Amino acid sequence: ISGEACGLNEALNLIDRLQLHKVIIETDSLTLVQAVEANKSIRRSWGVVVQRCIDFLRRNPSSSVKWIRREQNCVAHQLARWAEVEQNRDWAYSVPDCIIPLIQKDLGFCNPL
C-alpha cells in the first residue's frame, strides 16, 4: 500500500502544480480508495497521503478517487516502469511515447465523468 500511496501523493503534487480542480484519480488499490472514502485518520505511514487526498476532495467537490481493476490500469504501471529508468524526466506537459498505445486501450475501461 505504501507504493500506491506514494503514487497518489505524486498525482496530488501534479494536480496542484497544474492547478487542476476537476479530476478523476483512478487507482487499483482498493484499500487506499476505501481509506479515502471512510474519511478517517489512518495510523500508518501512508495515512498522511490519505488525509491529503481527503482534504483535496473537500476543496474540489467535482473531483473523485475511484478504484479500478489492475488490468485496467496499464498506463499507470507502464509509467511506473518508465519512471524507474527516466528518474529525472518531467512528463507533465508531454506524454512519454511508451504509453501512447496504452492510453487508447485504457480509454475503453475509464470510469465515465
Q: Which three cell numbers stand for residue 97?
A: 511515447
> pLDDT tens digit string along 17-27?
889 999 999 88
State the DSSP H helix or E strand holding residue 66, giving kind and residue range, or none if neither.
strand 64-67
Kindly report the pTM of this predicted structure: 0.71
Query: What are 24's strand-pairing partners?
Result: 64
- What's the pLDDT score for residue 81? 77
Domain coordinates in residue numbering, the chain: 1-67, 71-113
The amino acid at residue 78 is Q
Q: Is 32 in contact with 50 (CB distance < 8 Å)? A: yes
CA distance between the termini of the chain: 26
> pLDDT tens digit string along 36-93?
999 888 888 889 999 999 999 999 999 999 998 877 777 777 777 777 777 666 666 6
DSSP 23-38: -EEEES-HHHHHHHHH
Q: Which three cell numbers stand for residue 20?
A: 487542476
Q: Is 21 in contact with 36 (CB distance < 8 Å)? A: no
Q: How far apart are CA 58 and CA 62, in angstroms?
A: 9
Q: Is 1 in contact with 50 (CB distance < 8 Å)? A: no
